[in-house]
Structure formats: C-alpha cells, structure tokens
Amino acid sequence: MNVLLLGSGGREHAIAWKIAQSPLLSKLFVAPGNPGTAAFATNLNCSLADFAAIGTLTLTHQIDLIIVGPEVPLVEGLADYFYSEENLKHVRFLGPDKHAAQLEGSKDFAKQFMHRHGVPTARYATFTSETIEEGLTYLETLEAPYVLKADGLAAGKGVLILDTLGEAQESLKTLLGGQFGASSARVVIEEFLTGIELSVFALTDGKDYVLLPEAKDYKRIGEGDTGLNTGGMGAVSPVPFADDAFMTKVIDRIVKPTMTGIHAEGMRYTGFVFFGLINVKGEPFVIEYNCRMGDPETEVVMPRVASDILPLLNAAASGKLAGMHLEKDARAACTVMLVAGGYPEDYRKGDVITGINEVNGSMVFHAGTALVEGNIVTNGGRVMAITSYGNDIHDALRVSYENAQKIEWKDKYYRRDLGKDL
Ligand code: AMP
Ligand code: GLY
C-alpha cells in the first residue's frame, strides 16, 4: 500500500515512524514532511492549501491511502475535494469532510452538537456583533474567571481566560470587533471549569471506533503551568488519574454519545476524534473536540500503540473498522519538547542543532527543523520532541531529560517539571 501523510510537525513524524513499521506498507510519502521524516520516507514539497497539487501528487505516486495530520486542510474541505474529483474518488481518505470538521472548526457548532447528544460540557452562550449587548450582560451572570472563545480556527490563540468582568467585557468587544477576522465574528462565552486536563483519542470510520492510549499534555511555557499558552511543551501517557473508573465514565458519557451522534447525523467522518477533556472532581467534561491527533500527544500515543497501525488507518478510511482492535504497549511513554528561546512569542530560526546523534535510549521527533547546507537547524518555535519509554512516566521522563541535555542550540529551552503534578 502506498501512503501519503500530510503535515510537517512532530505529530506527523511520529505517525510516519509508526506507519513505516508496517509490513503492509509499500511506499510512504510525507508532504511536506521534515528532515526527520526524510530519514525513512519520501518528502514531497507541497503547500497543504493547494488541493489540486495534493491531488496531482496522489495520482503521480499512485497513493492508496491519504492521511491528514493538521486540521486546517480538513476544515477547508480537502476531503470534499477528494470525494468530488472523479479521478481521486478511488483514494481512501482519512479525515473528516468540511461539515464534520466543524467539530473543531466552529466552537459553536461543537457546543450545539454536544447539547444535541447530551455530552457533558461547560454551560455556554454564543454572541455576534448584533447581540454584543446581550453578551456583555451574559458575562455579568457568570463568575470569574471568564472564558471567551473565537468561534473559528485561530492558530491556538482564540481562547481567552480573563480574571475580571471588565477585562472580559473589553475582550468580547475586541473579539467581535475583528481581532481574529472571520474566526471571531462569533464568540462563545462559557463557564470556567476547574480541574485537570487530559486528551483522549478515537480512530473512527464514522460508525465504529477504536480508542488510542490517552495522554496529558503540558500547554504553558513556564514551569508549574505558568506563563503563555503554547502548542504543547511535552506529554505523558498513560495518565495516572485516568483509571478504569474514570475512563468508563469517559467512554459511556462522552466517547459513545459523540460517535453515535456523528453516525446519526450522517457525518462523513473518517479519522481521529480528539477529545480535549477536563476532570472536574472525578467527572469528565469536554473542553473541545479536535478533528485530528494532538501534538505533542501523538509523540507518546504512537509509541504506545502496539498493534500495526496501518491496517487500522486503512480500515477507518474504508468504513471497515467494525470488529478491529488496538493493542496498547504496556510501557509508559513521555515526550519533552525542546523549543526555541522566546517561544511562544518572537523567536529566532536557523540556529544549528548539534548532538542529535548522541541521544541514547530516546526517539527524536522533529517538529520545527530544516536541513540547510548539511546542517539541521531550528525552523519553528517547537523544534524537537524527545520521546522515551519507561516502567512509569517518571522513569520515562528521566531518560528524556538525560537526552534533552545532549541536544544543543543557542537559547534552547524546555520545561524541567513535566510529570511533577501527577
Ligand atoms: P481550547 O482551545 O478550547 O482547548 O482551549 C484552550 C485551553 O483553554 C484549554 O486547554 C483549557 O486549558 C482552557 N479552557 C478552555 N475552556 C475552558 C473552560 N470552560 N474552563 C476552563 N478552562 C478552559
Ligand atoms: N496539544 C494540543 C493540541 O494538539 O491541540
């Protein structure tokens, strides 16, 4: 089977690494990929906004299965493009269509879906510039802190948490005034939930599903969960508090009703459902859905999948997941994200990275790197994810931290406190 994976981050490196182990694989292509994927797959230079170019690559390389890593092409309708083009219809496509991808692409759509299907989530209301006065009044009925969300995609920056009513009301005006363009033309205001977050993932064909190992990521830049939000500074799996009793609640109250809802509404949904959950005193609530895998969660989830992943991905894209199982690796896994100094604000690119070959006992997943004149250089805020196995997450973290010291570039930064909260 020839496979084309779209994306260029640590998530895609980890998915590619797992697919590459499959005896079912003939050729693996990654578009655009990164220097990490180039070591064992063929990178194809392509913009993910150029659907026609993706279609051409698919035909040129006789792709049987296409897997989409990031959300943007899905929310913009890449699946619909493949389903509608006569010469691409035969290709198995893993990723929801534009309508279904609104579970991530529109917070209001996701909230309405959760309400229709009885999925527990924070109380909310949605406002536009026409209803701004109602929005300002609605905020007065809530307690601090206040959660405001741009309805559409905003590169992870669209959620604002404000401590005072005054700030929340100002932020509502700024958002509806076009802070994130069309993405914030609608704003979801919701009740603040206090608890600890985790990420749960399902692979679905639109009807049946298999659960992947769960993970916890660390979103804030600073130790002790302080400072700005990032794309994710590391992850661990399994999550100690996600015991059988808690996961039974997650499955019965959240995963099953969501999957039943997707099927009952006739959504064309193949691929990953990412449940961003929060544990409020032992009760799970949905913070958000994403229509893709998490990053850096994938860098611990894929290593913990013991089964061959390719038959599962292929079955999900073919509507044939019924009766299939996913075996988990009993070991724990962790990943420590090495980032460029200054991230998530301004940071430099192009610093030469050394020491990758000295890493021992960990896997290095490239997130934001480039190959320039024979050197691997930094090319993004999140640069590399150092993943290790262990008997438990603390054991795994020790190994990643040892290896994190060996990789060097100017102003490298990473959090040294992962797992300490667990
Ligand atoms: P989202 O993009 O929806 O995942 O939101 C980003 C982050 O904001 C989440 O990971 C949470 O840490 C936080 N957040 C979002 N919604 C809420 C909420 N209702 N209560 C508490 N924290 C929230
Ligand atoms: N790590 C969170 C995300 O991928 O959205």
Q: What is the pLDDT of residue 157?
A: 84
Domain match, 83 and 152 both = no
Strands 65-68 and 92-94: parallel
Q: Would you say residue 69 lies in a domain?
A: yes
Q: Would you say residue 412 lies in a domain?
A: no
User: Is 190 strand, coil or helix?
Assistant: strand
Q: Would you say residue 399 lies in a domain?
A: no
- Which among 190, 219, 238 is the end of a domain? 190
Domain match, 14 and 84 both = yes
Locus of tokens 């320039």: 372
Domain match, 72 and 128 both = no
- Which among 190, 214, 244 is the end of a domain? 190
Q: What is the pLDDT of residue 121?
A: 98
- Which among 169, 190, 211 is the end of a domain? 190
User: Is 318 strand, coil or helix?
Assistant: helix
Give the C-alpha distances (Å, rounded to integers) separating 394 from 323, 397, 408: 35, 5, 23
Q: Whose CA is nearest to atom 5 of ligand 2?
A: 294
Q: What is the pLDDT of residue 156?
A: 79
| Separation of alpha carbons 346 and 340, rounded Å | 9
291 Cα distance to chain centroid = 8
Q: Whose CA is nearest to atom 19 of ligand 1?
A: 192
Q: What is the pLDDT of residue 212?
A: 98
Domain match, 6 and 94 both = yes
List residues near ligand 2 (CB under 6 A).
Answer: 217, 232, 290, 294-295, 297
Q: What is the pLDDT of residue 155?
A: 83
Domain match, 130 and 89 both = no
Query: First-to-last CA distance in the chain?
Result: 41
Per the structure, the complete domain to which residue 8 belongs is given by: 2-98
Q: What is the pLDDT of residue 348?
A: 97
Residue 166 sits in a domain of what CATH number?
3.30.1490.20
Domain match, 7 and 71 both = yes
Environment class of residue 137 by beta-carbon count within 10 Å: exposed (0-12), middle (13-18) or buried (19+)?
Answer: exposed
**Which of 161, 188, 280, 290 should be mutated for ligand 1, with most atoms under 8 A from CB?**
161
Q: Would you say residue 149 lies in a domain?
A: yes
- List pLDDT tens digits, range 36-78: 999 999 999 999 999 999 999 999 999 999 999 999 999 999 9
**DSSP structure string for 150-182:** ESS--TT--EEEESSHHHHHHHHHHHHTTTTGG
| Separation of alpha carbons 380 and 220, rounded Å | 17
Environment class of residue 1 by beta-carbon count within 10 Å: exposed (0-12), middle (13-18) or buried (19+)?
Answer: middle
Q: Would you say residue 314 lies in a domain?
A: no
Residues of the chain with pLDDT under 50: none
Q: Would you say residue 209 lies in a domain?
A: no
| Separation of alpha carbons 223 and 225, rounded Å | 5
Domain match, 129 and 168 both = yes
277 has which bridge partners? 198, 286
Domain match, 77 and 9 both = yes
**Does the beta carbon of 288 lie inside 6 Å of ligand 1?**
yes
Q: Would you say residue 263 lies in a domain?
A: no
Domain match, 74 and 27 both = yes
**Does the beta carbon of 310 lie inside 6 Å of ligand 1?**
no
Number of domains in the chain: 2
Q: Would you say residue 178 lies in a domain?
A: yes
Sorted by sequence, the CB contacts under 8 Å of residue 222 that are 6+ apart come out as: 228, 415
**Does the beta carbon of 276 lie inside 6 Å of ligand 1?**
yes
* pTM greater than 0.95 (yes/no): yes
Residue 10 sits in a domain of what CATH number?
3.40.50.20
Q: What is the pLDDT of residue 215?
A: 98
Sorted by sequence, the CB contacts under 8 Å of residue 141 that are 6+ apart come out as: none
Domain match, 90 and 7 both = yes
For ligand 1, the distance from its centroid to the CA atom of residue 275, given in whole angstroms, is: 12
**Does the beta carbon of 287 lie inside 6 Å of ligand 1?**
yes
